[in-house]
Amino acid sequence: MAFKDAEEQKQELRLQEENILNDILSNNGTMKSKIIMWAEILEKRYELLDFSYPINQISSYIATELRKKECAIAQNVNHYLSDKYKNQNMIRFQHITNQLEPEFCSTDNCKSLEEFSITELEFDYEYVEKTQNDLDRISMYFNHREEALEAEASKRGIQLSGKKFRDPISCYDFRTPVPEDEKLEWYNKRTSENLFKTGEWLMNFAENDFLDFPPLDREQAKLFTKTSRLWRILFTTINEKKWSGCRGFWMDRNYWQKIQSSHDAGNSTKFDTTLCAYCSRDIEENPKDYHIMHYDKSSPTSYKCDNCNGTEILQRGNTREQVDFKKQENDMLAREVLDHATFYSDIFVKWRHDWLNKPIYARKAAIRGPFSRSSIAGVDTLVVKKQKIKPATTTTK
């Protein structure tokens, strides 16, 4: 029986709410009293678990419903209702605003400025300065909150207050500044992701985009081929696991060989390995007598032996045979760098400028009308700022 009474109460309250809304839209009766009655009905519905919004959001709910009906009274809802129906942040903002209105005073008796004592002038000036700082912080909070709400609405494909939202064209999260206070694992993971995406886009460029708009000038095409070969040579060195040392090191050894000797160039340098210096000390006599260290963040050398707990790394010597073996290849690479490194970006930048931009501009010229009207009127489509999403912290094994 009690359950039946509760349902009857809910139905009666919903009917009262509908009648009040019709009276407001018909301009029947006093608007203030109608809105206050509406808020009281919603509060009762909330107590009966028939209204999902909290009580301190009733004012916002009523204003939103009236705006949907294009009712001008929506802007006055906040002034008609008591504080318990309002968001606390909005209450504080309204109180600050009221203090700055001409009909209010921050000092007693509402004297004119000419009647203020020096102490009262000092007090009032400090009050205005502090309030201005508070308003700046409030404004910043609301701007960020508005952007977050618009971004969420864009993601869900919904409208808010009758406004449509869309993502900006060519907006990528990675273009935001790199944070200064993240953990080591976060930076390493972002680096890996950036390189991976770069590889993906390079593959797409090589397989599709470039061949869709190939250069028609033979000399330009020849320069692209030479430049792309230089990119390939440099990345081959990075990916080739049998290649020891870096390109700069071997060029330095090549130069040292010319001004000194192959023997001096080969025997003057040693490479760090991942072998334990103590457990692998007899490796020259017995090539199978060695122990590999493991990566360890706490080690001064970044590696630690799980056999003796040592951190000293065994170094591998260089040979003059290796210097001689790489001499010809390094000479050729040096020539390639001198001839084509200045054009290293042309294959991407000049290609886009000369061949790809033209069809892009044609497409944009065809669609500029609706977007121009939208940007001027501000009612058709709103572009939402892409929000920076803080990724979950990852741990390395």
Are residues 272 and 313 in contact, defined by beta-carbon separation less than 8 angstroms? yes
Task: Name the burial class of residue 62, with classes exposed (0-12), middle (13-18) and buried (19+) by CB atoms within 10 angstroms of its CB.
Answer: buried
Pairing of strands 382-383, 270-276: unpaired
Give start and end residues of each alpha helix (H) in 48-183: 58-68, 77-80, 88-100, 118-156
Which parts of the chain are beta strand (E)?
A: 165-166, 270-276, 294-295, 303-304, 313-317, 382-383
CB 320 within 8 A of CB 263: yes
Rg over CA atoms, the chain: 36
Kindly compute the dihedral angle of the four CA atoms of residues 372, 375, 379, 380, in this order, to the nearest 10 degrees.
Answer: 50
- 315 forms bridges with which residues in the sheet? 272
CB 100 within 8 A of CB 131: yes
Instruction: Tell me which residue of 79, 81, 72, 80 sits closest to 24, measured CA to CA.
Output: 72
pLDDT in tens, the chain (397 residues): 455 588 888 888 889 888 888 888 888 888 888 899 999 999 888 888 888 888 888 888 888 888 888 888 888 887 788 888 887 666 555 665 555 555 444 444 556 777 778 887 888 788 788 878 877 887 888 888 888 888 788 778 788 877 777 665 544 455 566 778 888 888 888 888 888 888 888 898 888 888 888 888 898 888 888 888 877 877 776 666 666 656 666 666 777 677 667 666 666 677 778 889 889 888 888 888 888 898 888 888 889 998 898 999 888 777 666 766 677 677 777 766 666 666 767 777 777 777 777 777 787 777 776 666 655 545 555 655 655 444 444 444 4
DSSP 8-state assignment for residue 309: -
The pTM is what? 0.37
Task: For residue 243, give the 3-state DSSP assignment.
Answer: coil
Closest residue by Cα to residue 63 from 50, 49, 73: 73
CB 317 within 8 A of CB 267: yes
